[in-house]
Amino acid sequence: MCGRIVQKSGPLDCVERIFPNPRRVFDDPAGPLYNIPPGTRPMAMHRLAGDFELERLHWGWRPHNSKYFMSSARLDKILANAWPWKMLTARGRILVPADGWYEWKPLAEGPKPPKQPHYIHATDNAPLFFTGLSNWRPEAEKDEAHGFTIVTNDAAGGMIDVHDRRPAASTIYAR
């Protein structure tokens, strides 16, 4: 490159290239949600069908013939190519947009102590993007057999007093 580029397309042309159906992206009937648990369908961003999509996928995954329902995937297990993550890492990568997440810290010792919720978010309140792995494919049901998990990592960086794991998250800043 010799230091020059061309930008003749309008902004809407660029947005429509990234979001093939922008009306569907921006007309989400759910509205804001403040307490989304596993087993529901939060928004996810992916290219699992080729084009970029922003749609609601099932949070949680039960591998075929497994008794385990998984809502999170430990990064150390993924990197070790441990079952069942190896089959999702090559073709099931997604992002899950979020404004933050909750951790619940016990207030006392005992079998069922009361817990204090902690809302964790970016200091500037920018949206976060959680790394996820999904088993969803085009034409598949949006159910737990084809759901997704959120990748977690250790809680290094000052959160260890609240919880030992955190979502693998990043922010994207427009400049």
Query: For residue range 106-149, what is the model confidence (pLDDT) as tens digits?
Result: 888 888 888 888 888 888 888 888 899 999 988 888 888 899 99
Strand spans (E) along 5-154? 43-49, 51-56, 72-74, 93-98, 101-106, 115-120, 128-134, 148-154
Confidence of residue 64 (pLDDT cuts 50, 70, 90): confident
The whole-number pLDDT of residue 175 equals 45
**Residue 21 binned pLDDT confidence (cut-offs 50, 70, 90):** low
Give the predicted TM-score (pTM) of the model.
Answer: 0.79
- Which whole number is the average pLDDT over 76-80? 90
Average pLDDT, the chain: 80
Please say whether the beta carbons of 171 and 127 come within 8 A: yes
